[in-house]
Structure 1
Amino acid sequence: MSIFSGIWIPLITPFQAGAIDHRALAALVGRYREAGVAGFAALGTTGEPAAMSDEEQDAAIATILRAAEGLPVIVGVPGNQTVAVRERVLRVGELPINGVMITAPYYIRPSQAGIVDYFSTMAEASAKPIVIYDIPYRTGVRMELETLLTLAAHPRIQAIKDCAGSLETTLALILDGRLKVLTGNDDAMFASMCMGGAGAIAATAHLRTERFVEMHRALARGDLEQGRTIYHELAPLLRALVSEPNPAPVKAALAAEGRIANELRSPMTRASDALTRELAALLAA
């Protein structure tokens, strides 16, 4: 049975006085583990890896793996230099992780044939399963359905974090059945799971985690009424958490709960004062 289902947390990286707060990171992982999440995505965009050195990234992975206590962990490996990304895939593949999450090469905007070649190269190099991270508004290139279906034929490419914003493509991938579809657009998770999607890699699930887990379980067993009730309950918080650039709202909310310092690395900035007040009110309700 595939591990790529349920609610996964794309972990933020807590900072304190400019350094990674490993104690806070481990505490977050422990909390989400107890809440029943299916796994963790380390060093996705929510984790601010672009603002971290390789040494800091490795240290964060080590902390997450220790705190996860056997729950699946996948690691983000973005980039646009094929040789460098392949080397990183090989390196993280030596760790006791459960998969590698890879975006299309950003900024370059390769052809669809180039995308197929790129992911095929990574899949051949990787000792661990590949999760395609399809997020065209960050990479600048859209992965067409035909491209995704071609890549689905590779045995090591097993899932997709679907952030493309196309219900038509999402449904086609679900019906095809070879890739487990985990939505990454949090406001689309309910629709995706109702169509048969496997779950979500959801930044918003850093908050009210148990309810996100309960929603997925309800929908997975076909209890649409309960799933919808939970989604409606979560909707105001979810909307607020995606209203400004990620991960600033999530960090503001976690800081309001006293779990982390409200600190990001430049060029990211903290959530606005108005949103911070709104989040505090929603969490107190």
Structure 2
Amino acid sequence: MSTSAFGSVITAMVSPFDDEHRLDLDTAHELAQWLTRPGWNDGLVVNGTTGESTTTTDHEKQQLIEVVVQAVAGRAKVIAGVGTSDTRHSIELARAAEAAGADGLLVVTPYYSRPSQDGILQHLRAIGDSTTLPIMLYDIPKRAGVALEPSTLAAAGEHERIVALKDAKGDLESASWVISHTDLAVYSGDDALNLPLLSVGAVGFVSVVGHVAAGELRDLLDAYTAGDVARARLLHQRLLPIYQGMFLAPGAASAKAALATMGMGNGQVRPPLVGLSQQERNLLVKALTEADCSPALVV
């Protein structure tokens, strides 16, 4: 169910802004179409971390969902990030995302307040009860301040709408336990661990690198699924420079800078994020070139 609900190669899409930091819906439409061209992404996350969701308004979030749904025209699943540190607000966003046409929801662990595992579980179940859409949980303790324990994931997965996990914990032992003890479909949420997570049973990727290398990620997934581990490993090694280069700065800033080098958007981020320095940009361009991901680079 999970890959049919969410896709298998999914990019966590940036939210384009103009030079005055206003939401640029025309560029968002163009970008969503470009990211879902044949052989690339079959899913897009909007309003996630890379979408700078902490600095967009609820109205902007709804506008983005509507524009991206229109742009992909059924070619890919549109997954809306609705997780916040407030259960009531998350429920409001979940309902608004469903009304705007999203195909699924991404729900991050409540951040900053560091709730107990019981509090997190109640939070996740309440969001699940508020919608008819399938839900992918998002475990990223380095941002949220608290991890989803395997037992919490198992309990959450008993909810009929909680069906998948974006794993950005960097803990292969935990991921292996979840895959073997639950029905949750696990997606790699850490590009550098895409291949290792496939090896323990992940079903796909939710990627930042997918902005520039979704075709290569699909090749890697297809090779591994077909049993050609040697080719998958070669593709993984080829992508190492961009796995590293895209995270020299926060992912949203790096992804936007990479897209700007190809004439897609202006690289603008909202404060407190800042654009890449010239040195960071030079290193990113070097990484893109080494990975051979972007033949249309404009340096």
TM-score range, shorter chain: over 0.9
- 1:120 maps to which residue? 125
Say whether residues 1:7 and 2:9 are aligned partners.
yes
Q: Percent identity?
A: 29
Tell me how far apart the structure 2 counterparts of residues 183 and 164 of structure 1 sit (CA, whole Å): 9
Measured after TM superposition, the shift of residue 177 of structure 1 is 4.6
**Aligned partner (choices 175, 200, 205) of residue 200 of structure 1:** 205
2:36 maps to amino acid:
R
Normalized against structure 2, the TM-score is what? Answer: 0.91
8 Å contact kept, 1:134–1:143: yes
**Aligned partner (choices 166, 170, 191) of residue 165 of structure 1:** 170
Residues 48-80 of structure 1: per-residue CA shift (max 9 Å, x gap): 111111221111111111111112111001212
8 Å contact kept, 1:46–1:247: yes
- 2:227 maps to which residue? 222
Matching of residues 122-141 of structure 1 within 5 Å: 122-141=127-146
Tell me how far apart the structure 2 counterparts of residues 187 and 281 of structure 1 sit (CA, whole Å): 18
**Aligned partner (choices 14, 29, 32) of residue 29 of structure 1:** 32
- 2:68 maps to which residue? 64
Tell me how far apart the structure 1 counterparts of residues 7 and 29 of structure 2 sit (CA, whole Å): 23
2:248 maps to amino acid:
S
1:247 maps to amino acid:
A
Local SS of the residue matching 1:47: coil
8 Å contact kept, 1:5–1:198: no
8 Å contact kept, 1:5–1:180: no
Say whether residues 1:40 and 2:44 are aligned partners.
yes
Measured after TM superposition, the shift of residue 108 of structure 1 is 1.1
8 Å contact kept, 2:253–2:274: yes
Measured after TM superposition, the shift of residue 243 of structure 1 is 2.3
Measured after TM superposition, the shift of residue 38 of structure 1 is 2.0
Local SS of the residue matching 2:199: helix
Residues 180-237 of structure 1: per-residue CA shift (max 9 Å, x gap): 1011111111100122201110011111221111111111222111111111111111
**Aligned partner (choices 32, 50, 54) of residue 50 of structure 1:** 54
Q: CA RMSD in A?
A: 1.4
Residues 282 and 80 of structure 1: CA distance in aligned 2, closer, same or farther (over 3 Å) = closer
Measured after TM superposition, the shift of residue 5 of structure 1 is 4.7
Tell me how far apart the structure 1 counterparts of residues 227 and 180 of structure 2 sit (CA, whole Å): 17
- Stretches (4+) displaced over 4 A: none
- 2:156 maps to which residue? 151
Tell me how far apart the structure 2 counterparts of residues 250 and 54 of structure 1 sit (CA, whole Å): 23
Tell me how far apart the structure 1 counterparts of residues 211 and 25 of structure 2 sit (CA, whole Å): 17
Return 5+ residue gaps in structure 2 as ranges. Answer: 291-299
Return 5+ residue gaps in structure 1 as ranges. Answer: none
8 Å contact kept, 1:183–1:199: yes
8 Å contact kept, 1:174–1:196: yes
**Aligned partner (choices 72, 76, 79) of residue 74 of structure 1:** 79
Aligned residues: 285
